[in-house]
Amino acid sequence: MNLEFTDEALVDLGRQALAVEIEGLRAQLPRLGSEFARACRICLSCHGRIVVTGMGKSGHVAGKIAATLASTGTPAFFMHPGEASHGDVGMITREDAVLVLSNSGETDEILTIVPVIVRLGVPLIAFTGNSNSAIARVATVHLDIGVPAEACPLNLTPTASTTAALAVGDALAVALLKARGFTEDDFARSHPSGSLGRRLLLHVQDVMRTGADIPTVRAATPLAEGLIEVTRKGLGMTAIIDETRRVLGVFTDGDLRRALDAAVDLHTTRMEQVMTRHAKTVRPTTLAAEAVHLMETHRITALVVVDAERRIVGALNVHDLLRAGVV
């Protein structure tokens, strides 16, 4: 290791590499034309999946492009070209389309399986840096992703070229996403365990407490008994309900502080005298994210869940939402 490099010199080298990669990306902009549109059309009309393949560093990029396509509404998977010639090429069906990444356009492992792709009559989209390459010539659609230079000072290690391939792959995925009318809800269904999935797919009924865990008292219940219910259920509140379980109001920590300030008698004061009427409520089908917004807006930490007739069906607090990963 050369210890003569200063921190400033190392930072300068990094900036030089980024500058080369930026120029490589700029080179792609004027090339996105009719061939890019054709590639999009092939993917949009594909009734199967987009089989993405590449070798070496291009293979890593191909895997990421396949994952991006799959998560944004275009079914896709990565196929290793080396394994393909040993049987995995059977993954390709006549309903599919193939996307090949090869900077040289002469990758042996890919050229080995091209005849099979051609015999199947499957559309072949090629990303290469050489328009005169063997892969480019046989492709149904060829996108030139060549770059002026690699960021590697030896101009050997795939750097700017793989960045360009990744960026054009992203451009393809985004164009298809928009053309398909792909929405946040669609994205969430592809990412059910992600934060967006939890925000868009999780409803109040998925996290609320039900049955005996719901804190409830009647209007005539003494305040002392109401406090016991608040403590027992651990939600920091209780709902006040009538004989049909319709919600008349709620009693929270804030109501308790106001009651104590007024020096009320805990044993003679009824819950209906100290409850908050017209309490904020949500429905079971309300998105959990909307419940969070309601809590934040009104600075409350718990909510009562009611049906269309305002009968209580559940309750939840901010800790329930935290556990569910919505907050």
CA–centroid distance for 213 within its chain: 33
Pick from 231, 221, 209: nearest CA to 271 = 221
218 and 162 belong to one structural domain:
no
Cβ 226 vs Cβ 271: under 8 Å: yes
Query: E strand or H helix at 124, and its extent?
Result: strand 124-128
Give pTM, 2 decimals: 0.63
170 and 43 belong to one structural domain:
yes
Asked if residue 208 is part of any domain, the answer here is: yes
Query: Residue 45 maps to which CATH number?
Result: 3.40.50.10490
pLDDT at residue 46, rounded to an integer: 94
154 and 36 belong to one structural domain:
yes
pLDDT at residue 2, rounded to an integer: 58
Could you give the CA distance from residue 19 to residue 183 in angstroms, rounded to a whole number?
A: 34
24 and 142 belong to one structural domain:
yes
255 and 218 belong to one structural domain:
yes
CA dist 84 to 27, 43, 90, 127, Å? 32, 21, 8, 19
Pick from 244, 247, 219: nearest CA to 315 = 247
What residues pair up with 239 in beta bridges, in sequence order? 216, 250
37 and 170 belong to one structural domain:
yes
Residue with token string 């030089």: 16
pLDDT at residue 43, rounded to an integer: 95
Return all residues near 190 (Cβ < 8 A) that are at least 6 apart: 70, 71, 72, 73
- One digit per residue, the tens of pLDDT, for the chain of length 327 reads 556 789 999 999 999 999 999 999 999 999 999 999 999 999 999 999 999 999 999 999 999 999 999 888 899 999 999 998 887 888 899 999 999 999 999 999 999 999 999 889 999 999 999 999 999 999 999 999 999 999 988 887 899 999 999 999 999 999 999 998 876 665 655 544 455 555 556 789 988 999 999 999 999 999 999 999 999 998 989 999 999 999 999 999 889 999 989 999 999 999 999 999 988 999 998 888 888 888 888 888 899 999 999 999 999 998 888 887 775
What residues pair up with 282 in beta bridges, in sequence order? 305
Asked if residue 118 is part of any domain, the answer here is: yes
25 and 169 belong to one structural domain:
yes
pLDDT at residue 180, rounded to an integer: 87
Query: Residue 277 maps to which CATH number?
Result: 3.10.580.10
Could you give the CA distance from residue 13 to residue 24 in angstroms, rounded to a whole number?
A: 17
pLDDT at residue 18, rounded to an integer: 96
Could you give the CA distance from residue 240 to residue 215 in angstroms, rounded to a whole number?
A: 9
Asked if residue 191 is part of any domain, the answer here is: no
> Angle 177-51-200 (CA atoms, 0-180°, nearest 5)?
35
DSSP class of 181: T
143 and 12 belong to one structural domain:
yes
Owning domain of residue 239: 204-323
pLDDT at residue 84, rounded to an integer: 86
Number of domains in the chain: 2
230 and 137 belong to one structural domain:
no
Asked if residue 188 is part of any domain, the answer here is: no
170 and 217 belong to one structural domain:
no
**Residue 313 corresponds to which tokens in the numbers above?**
């069906």
Could you give the CA distance from residue 188 to residue 192 in angstroms, rounded to a whole number?
A: 6
